[in-house]
Amino acid sequence: MRFSIDPWMQNLFSKDMTSLDYAWMIERVNRCYLQIWEVCEQILRLNGNVVLDLGFTTREQRARFSELAKTLGVHAEVHYLNATTEVRRQRVDKRNAEKDPGVYAFEVTDFMFDFMEPRYEVPDANELANGRTVNAQ
């Protein structure tokens, strides 16, 4: 089962957002994380699999979910798509243009992209020990 943060944020909070306020947004992201994890925990206890497409901007966020999985005896895998800023921006532009319902929840503007770009912490070797890096072109 795949869980992606974008539709949750879009459906639950987009109408309430008046500006791009990081503190406001991350507080709601964390609320979604709690609810998503409750469902994931049930799936994992039934020996199911989950894929978390939750942004995971910081090491702390990734570590939190890895630790939650560990308490259930699950070894979390961190998969990192290594792409340049230019490639990421091109992919966002393509996503915005195509509006594929499988991946598109809302338009990511240049302002939003530029706002989040410096906040991302690249996973280190320890985080990727049970995962992988995919180099994008």
Q: Mind listing the pLDDT tens digit for each residue in 78-110? A: 999 999 999 999 999 999 999 988 778 888 889
> H/E/C letters for each residue in 9-27?
HHHHHHHHCCCCCHHHHHH
Class for the domain spanning 2-135: alpha beta
Q: Mind listing the pLDDT tens digit for each residue in 58-71? A: 999 999 999 999 99
Give first-to-last CA distance, the chain, whole Å: 27
Can you read off the two tokens belonging to residue 67? 């630790």
- CA separation for the pair 110, 125 (Å, rounded): 30
**11 Cβ neighbours under 8 A, 6+ residues apart:** none
CB 73 within 8 A of CB 121: no
The residue among 34, 25, 86 whose CA lies nearest residue 57 is 25
